[in-house]
Amino acid sequence: MDSYVKGDTSTPLINITIGKQLEETAARYPDHDAVIFRESGARLTYAELNAEADRIAAGFLALGLAPGDRVGVWAPNRLEWVLCQFATAKAGLIQVNINPAYRLHELEYALNLVECRAIVTAERFKSSDYIAMLQELAPELEVCAPGKLKAEKLPALEMAITMGDDAPAGFLRFADIAGLATDELLARVAEIGVGLSPDDPINIQFTSGTTGAPKGATLSHRNILNNGWFVGRAMGFADTDRLCIPVPLYHCFGMVMSVLTCLTHGAAMIFPAEAFEPVSVLEAVQAEACTALHGVPTMFIAELAVPDRGTYDLSTLRTGIMAGAPCPIEVMKQVISDMHMEDCTIAYGMTETSPVSFQTSMDDPIERRVSTVGRVQPHVEVTLIDTDGNIVPRGTQGEICTRGYLVMQGYWNDPERTAEAIDAEGWMHTGDLGVIDEAGYCNITGRLKDMLVRGGENVYPREIEEFLYRHSAIRDVQVFGVPDHKYGEEICAWVALHEAGSLTEEELKAFCKGQIAHYKVPRYVRFVDDFPMTVTGKIQKFIMREQMIAELDLIIEDTA
């Protein structure tokens, strides 16, 4: 039997837009809790969420934004983020998710890559001063009228919108946007909504590759709305469910698997805090009687390690998702037994596939739920191929290729890399290696791509390498992952200098600070004269990894 599987098609795909889905959910469950942000105290029902999204959509039009324009959102988990998600969908704008950890170099690249006309930003988050970074990239903000920016480094950006109470020079206030709505503009929002297609692009999420710089994976209403719907079905979701969401909204886990799962089922979204903190999660589950919880393995590990975890009432939990990184088997067993999540599922996918293609179900035996990523999702085809492109037999390792409604439209304005990822027959070549057994369960066995996963964040070595090449002392650099108990993997850089001793480890890390996200800064740095290579000159990173594991005495844990 070949390694080809196709999901059930008995349940039809959703064939409406995200805005229309919000309207239908609000009509069906008007008084149900929609979003609860415990840190700010904000609470909206579905009727209130729908009405506010309409007003903000109209406000965006009042500012001069038009369908198809890109609007960046740069913030941690806040109400404004969710409002932007639905308002842009209703106005036909394309929301661009910007990682809250991005620094100057990454922000400039992202905004220019997709030509954002507007950015909605928090004032600051953790060690990041977003306003100051934008002012550094666009000093013209100091002298321009709000909404009329003309910046040399950010030529497409016209509007900088702050979520803060006070607007610095050149900025607009997000709190004022809904007030710009008029009856005429609200009617225009409704008119735009009628004209939108489920196949229209609605979201751009940045993902990288072995070529280095991030690419803008472009996703449609159909892509992400259906994925949220089927992810929820695998968890047995209903309108009575209340999902605790500590995962970040900018990531497909938060935006699709959490928000759109709740939207399509009429369930409540509970956000414990702006960023993950284990105690806030336990408090939210207890206070809001959450029935479901999402997270990457490191989050669950941290929650289980809270010293007084036993004093929190987690008995309302029943289901959820653990995804984003390989799941340690013992952690999954503890989540099921100690956190009452008997129906917890594991999901696998990638940003380019909206994201989930495999997921375990509540009916799967515990052995399957802790050792595989489940079976293929509805309306999805998956095949495993060898290096020659031939389908491999069941039980044999091959590259996972995915096809169906969930495959992205492409990388924004990058047909060459799109063609490299999606072949002529519509198969998305994931670069991940897996094995599908006789019963159709998939086990992820490795990666073809030169990628590592640190605490649920995909990290692409080439991107870090290309940044480090900018340092004048560095002759060559190779970045790779090594095992780490807390984060799954940590980043190691082997660096060859032009002149021995011309750069220290501390100086290298200082060079990275403020320029690339903190989780991309190498944890381990080794200065070397050369790298292990094949006779043909190909770098052998696996040898470097083995040497570092031995040198650091690291332990490789068994994972599902």
pLDDT per residue of the chain (560 residues) written in tens, 0 to 9: 999 999 999 999 999 999 999 999 999 999 999 999 999 999 999 999 999 999 999 999 999 999 999 999 999 999 999 999 999 999 999 999 999 989 999 999 999 999 999 999 999 999 899 999 999 999 999 999 999 999 999 999 999 999 999 999 999 999 999 999 999 999 999 999 999 999 999 999 998 643 457 899 999 999 999 999 999 999 999 999 999 999 999 999 999 999 999 999 999 999 999 999 999 999 999 999 999 999 988 899 899 999 999 999 999 999 999 998 777 777 888 999 999 999 999 999 999 999 999 999 998 988 888 889 999 999 999 999 998 899 999 999 999 999 999 999 999 999 999 999 999 999 999 998 899 999 999 998 877 767 788 988 878 887 898 899 889 999 889 999 999 988 989 999 999 998 999 999 999 999 999 999 999 999 999 999 988 875 545 678 889 999 999 999 886 554 44
CA distance 311 to 449: 43
The per-residue b/e assignment along 326-340, b for 16 or more CB within 10 angstroms, e otherwise, is bbbbebbebbbeebb
Q: Which fold has domain 452-552?
A: GMP Synthetase; Chain A, domain 3 (3.30.300)
pTM greater than the 0.85 cutoff: yes
The per-residue b/e assignment along 18-55, b for 16 or more CB within 10 angstroms, e otherwise, is bbbbbbbbbeebeebbbbbbbbeeeebbbbbbbebbbb
Amino acid residing at 41: G
Q: What is the crossing angle of helices 46-62 and 79-91, to 10°?
A: 60
Strands 70-74 and 94-98, bridge-based pairing? parallel
Tell me, what's the pLDDT at 556?
59
The per-residue b/e assignment along 530-551, b for 16 or more CB within 10 angstroms, e otherwise, is eebeeeeeebebeebbebbeee
**Nearest residue to 95 (alpha-carbon basis) of 113, 61, 120:** 120
User: What residue ranges in 100-255 does DSSP mark as E strands?
Assistant: 118-121, 124-125, 128-129, 159-162, 171-173, 201-209, 212-220, 242-244
Tell me, what's the pLDDT at 560?
42
- Which residues share a beta bridge with 74? 98, 121
* Residues 90/83, Cβ–Cβ less than 8 Å: no
Tell me, what's the pLDDT at 214?
85
Boundaries of CATH 3.40.50.980 in the chain?
Answer: 18-197
Residues 371, 376, 377, 383: is their CA dihedral positive or negative? Answer: positive
The pair phi, psi for residue 280, each rounded to 5°, is -65, -30
**Nearest residue to 353 (alpha-carbon basis) of 491, 519, 218:** 218
Q: Answer whether CATH 3.40.50.720 is correct for domain 18-197.
A: no
Tell me, what's the pLDDT at 537?
58
* Residues 295/253, Cβ–Cβ less than 8 Å: no
Boundaries of CATH 3.30.300.30 in the chain?
Answer: 452-552
User: What residue ranges in 415-520 does DSSP mark as E strands?
Assistant: 428-436, 442-447, 452-454, 457-459, 474-484, 488-497
CA distance 58 to 66: 10
Q: Which fold has domain 4-12+205-447?
A: Rossmann fold (3.40.50)
Which helix (H) or strand (E) is 98 found in, with range?
strand 94-98
Boundaries of CATH 3.40.50.12780 in the chain?
Answer: 4-12+205-447
* Count of residues in the chain: 560
Q: What would the two tokens of residue 209 be?
A: 């590759």
CA distance 325 to 367: 18
Query: Which residues, including other chains, have CB under 8 Å from residue 515's CB and lie 6 or more apart?
Result: 103, 104, 105, 106, 467
